[in-house]
Structure 1
Amino acid sequence: MITEKFRRQLRQEAKLWQTEGLIDNYLYQQLSERYQFDSLEKAASSRFITILISLGGILLGLGIITFVSANWQQWSRELKIVILLTLFIGVNTTGFYLWRQPNTPPNTINKKQRLGHGLLIFGALLLGANIALMAQMFHIGGSPYGLYIVWGLGVLVMAYSLQLKTLGIISLLLIGLGYLMGLSTVFYPGEFSWLQFIIEYMSLVGILLFIPLAYWCNSRIIFFLATMIILLALEISLFRVFDFSNHGLWGAIALTLPPALLWGYDDIILPKIDSRIFQPLTRNLAIWYLSIGFLFLSFRAIWQDFPFRNYSETSSEIHWLTLVEVLIFIGLTIWEWLFLARPNKRDFQSWRLDLVSGVILGFIVGTAILFFWHLSINKIPEIATFIINIEMFLLAAGLIRIGLMRGIRGTFWGGLVLLTLQIVSRTFEYNTGLLLKSFVFILCGVGVIAAGLWYEHHLSLEEGVGSRE
């Protein structure tokens, strides 16, 4: 969208081009008509009036809120309902009307649209207040997490209806907060209800409700928030299903299923999606997951003390619906990787993965086998620590290499930081003297600075060559 700041800068540059003879008067006039340079002064003169009106509106709103608060207890229930519904419908109707105003000039956002957008957000916040006050007036009991989930679902409907990213983000934050507040009901369930069902099977609910919203709004933030909620819920479901001490297979699945699910994700696997919008994001999250996991498992004490608790002593109940939920995600992951390795009809190639995906699959399978062996066959803390450190080093080296080959700063620096953390963490894990620690810190600091300066210089040279070509 074209902002007012851009139009001002363009007008300034266009006048300079006209003075230097780069464009003639006719072309300048065309630009002026297209981007309405003449209306910029009018907009500047009315900005002070807009500020005064906004300030007056805020004070007026505070006055109304104070008046309602002072007389709330004396008013009847019917009057309260009328006030709440009138305020909610009025704010959202006005916001929708202003938000739907046409753009003048095209591809710009005018002040009416901004005001309408703000009113719609305010209407989403009013929805929560209406739900809470209605429940209080009609003596409807409930937990705080239920309020946030119902509120979030209401805002979610608004986000789908209006295709607004802001409302989608608010809805996911509300539902995520409600889910975190209601996690205790997963392990200590009470009376079953539809809210309890949402809490227990949030991963499937997120797949059905949140992911389509990300595509509908074309928002990476919504997809990221949805992925975080789904992964957390999936880990909780895996935690409920398996027993670390007796079922090493389930433990291996719990450790490696999330990164496999993230890396294998492909947008075009979905119907009516022909571009990879969010695949780079999921693969970055998979790298983050593997990096943090390897860093955590690279300590020998983790393998010596694992499993931390024998869950079979506390509960032998099998959560069959949760098991079905986990099996659905396992099937989805297998489907993703089969789709990833499908033969290319253009090149007449057989079933195979590309080099990077093959290496990631090797990390996942190798870690799963190691975890299964340690839990079910024989404890191997020393061997497991050694292999995890090798995988961590290979991952860091691979990130550095990809960052060098493709000129991606984030990948290069991520691999360098991961390698540095591995070296530094080993000095803390083992009983080393302060002199050796000091030497390692100095060596890592000098190495990071030298590698960073060399990489930036190398990248600037490549960018310079590319610009000359």
Structure 2
Amino acid sequence: MASEKFRRQLRHETELWKAEGLINDSAYQQISDRYQFNSIDSAASNRFVMILIGLGGILLGLGVITFVAANWQEWPRELKIILLLSLFIGLNTSGFYLWQANPKTGKTKHLGEGLLLFGALSLGANISLMAQMFHIGGSPYGLFLVWGLGVLLMAYSLRLVSLGILSILLLGIGYWSGVSNIFVPAELTGLEFLLIHMALVGAILFVPLAYWCQSRSIFIMAVLLIIPALQMNIAVLLDQNFSAELMTIGLILPPALLWSYDDSLFPGIDSRPFRPHTRNLAIWFLGILFFLFSFQGVGKFFVYIGSSQSTAINGFHLILDVILLGGLTIGQWLYLAKPRHSYQHWGLDAVSSTIAVFLGVTALVGFGYQSISVTLFVFVFNILLFLLAGGLVRIGLGEGKRGAFWGGMILLTLQIMSRTFEYNTELLFKALVFVLCGVGVILAGLWFERHLSRQQT
């Protein structure tokens, strides 16, 4: 179904066409039936009613919350438990009923989904207040972790994208609130075990949910939770026992994992709906990495970084995620190079080969960082940044992709301008660089749009 804005514009245009005699009544009626012009006004009316119901529900909820807060301390525990459970069950039951009702028209579907989301939010209040009433101690991050797992169960049960996104947000808040605990030597509890293995847990729980819901948002948010958690484990290991090998793995593993990701590795999935997004994230990861290491200050810190030797804390648990995801990365690259037909040979395509070269050069610099100078270190990453930006521009020109072209232009502009600020240059020279960059971006954009229109023609 086309969007309501398009249908409204189309109805206006077809009425003009009919008045001008360009189409007859029969053609107008066919277009009207196809795009359901009669339902446009009713949809707007239903949306207005939904807004009123939502505002009224918010005010009603605030009134109930205020009343409960005023009498909460005076009520017995049993009444509090009944109220909390009734609120949770009532919201989810009514939300599920409205969400399932009228599947053809979907008039109450959004209201039902809103109530289900409200019910998921009330789950956190239930957990917190129940723990308070029964004097169960706990940390704030534990509340968010348990809350996120409960919402995740609801998301799997109902196949709702909004609940999946809420679950990722709650687990992310819980993880970053309690991530400092994995630096402290202590016996692992269930929640600390979840913190340490958040990369694996996130991959196991949220990636199948993204396919189940067919949601790009869930997949991208899951990746943005998994990759930082993986790097945090490596950072803890480096803090305990610094090594060039582990540091290099921390630099190249995330982009290698993202670039080699292939949806078809999962059973029953023939298409590749999410691979373009992982490859875009890998490109931006490399771009940010090369840009940061192109500065002399970062290069000096990296080359002359001191190593510390301390007792390993939960070393096996920390390295487990790295080993498993590293093994998955190797398997994905082998699958990427595997021939698809009998007449093909093992090998990578041009773009994947270029990414592999970038990763290989980064690994060589990482392994030999102690034996190279800062100047060579910065020079290598400046060259890599320039080649990455040029490659993006070339892909944008060759395949007509605006995102790749402008991404390359942004990296080139940032590289030129940052070098101007980093080194001691005169203000007149800085002004000249700004003018040239501005003119170059304008001319390149105009030329690219003209080139793109020629390609499409």
TM-score bracket relative to the smaller structure? over 0.9
Seen in structure 2, the aligned counterparts of structure 1 residues 199 and 8 have a Cα distance that, compared at 3 Å, is same
The code of the aligned residue for 2:96 comes to: F
TM-score for both structures, normalised by structure 2 = 0.92
Q: Distance in 1 between matches of 2:350 and 2:88?
A: 55
Partner of 1:436: 429
Q: 2:219 maps to which residue?
A: 223
Is 1:192 matched with 2:188? yes
For the pair 1:446 / 2:446, whether they are aligned, the reply is no
Q: Out of 267, 292, 300, which is 1:271 matched to?
A: 267
Structure 1 residue 370 and structure 2 residue 368: aligned? Answer: no
Contact 1:206 1:230 in 2 (8 A): yes
Q: Determine the C-alpha separation between the residues in 2 that align with 1:149 and 1:308.
A: 38
The Cα offsets for residues 326-363 of structure 1, whole Å up to 9 and x where unpaired, read as 111111111010000001216x1110000000000000
Mapping for residues 67-466 of structure 1, pairs under 5 Å: 67-105=67-105, 109-110=106-107, 112-242=108-238, 247-306=243-302, 309-315=305-311, 319-345=315-341, 348-375=343-370, 378-463=371-456, 465=457
Question: Contact conserved, 1:172 with 1:225, CA < 8 A, in 2?
Answer: yes
Query: How many residue pairs get matched?
Result: 457
Aligned to 1:60: 60
1:189 shift after superposition: 4.2
Kindly state the Cα deviation for residue 457 of structure 1 after the two structures are TM-superposed.
2.2
| SS in structure 1 of the partner of residue 419 of structure 2 | helix
| Closer/same/farther in 2, CA of residues 381 and 459 from structure 1, 3 Å limit | same
Change (3 A) 1:52 1:322: closer
Indicate conservation of the 8 Å contact 1:11/1:37, yes or no: yes
Deviates more, 1:277-286 or 1:366-375: 366-375
Q: Distance in 1 between matches of 2:229 and 2:43?
A: 49
Using the TM superposition, give the Cα deviation of residue 32 of structure 1 relative to its aligned residue in structure 2, in angstroms.
5.4
Q: Distance in 1 between matches of 2:314 and 2:86?
A: 49
Residues 69-78 or 34-43, more deviating: 34-43
Deviation at 1:63, TM superposition (A): 2.2
**Alignment-mate amino acid for residue 294 of structure 2:** S
**Partner of 2:308: helix, strand, or coil?**
helix
Uncovered stretches (5+) of structure 2, i.e. residues with no partner:
none
For the Cα contact (< 8 Å) 1:245–1:307, is it kept in 2? no
The question of whether the paired residues in 1 share the 8 Å contact of 2:96 and 2:116 is answered with yes
**Percentage of matched positions with identical amino acids:** 56
Q: Which letter maps to 1:139?
A: H
Question: What's the Cα RMSD here?
Answer: 2.4
Aligned partners of 1:446, 1:296: CA distance in 2, in Å? Answer: 26
**How far apart are 1:302 and its partner, in Å?**
2.3
CA contact (8 A) 1:241 1:318 kept: no
Structure 2: distance between partners of 1:340 and 1:76: 63
Shift of 1:201: 0.9
Q: What is the SS of the residue equivalent to 1:73?
A: coil
Shift of 1:384: 1.9
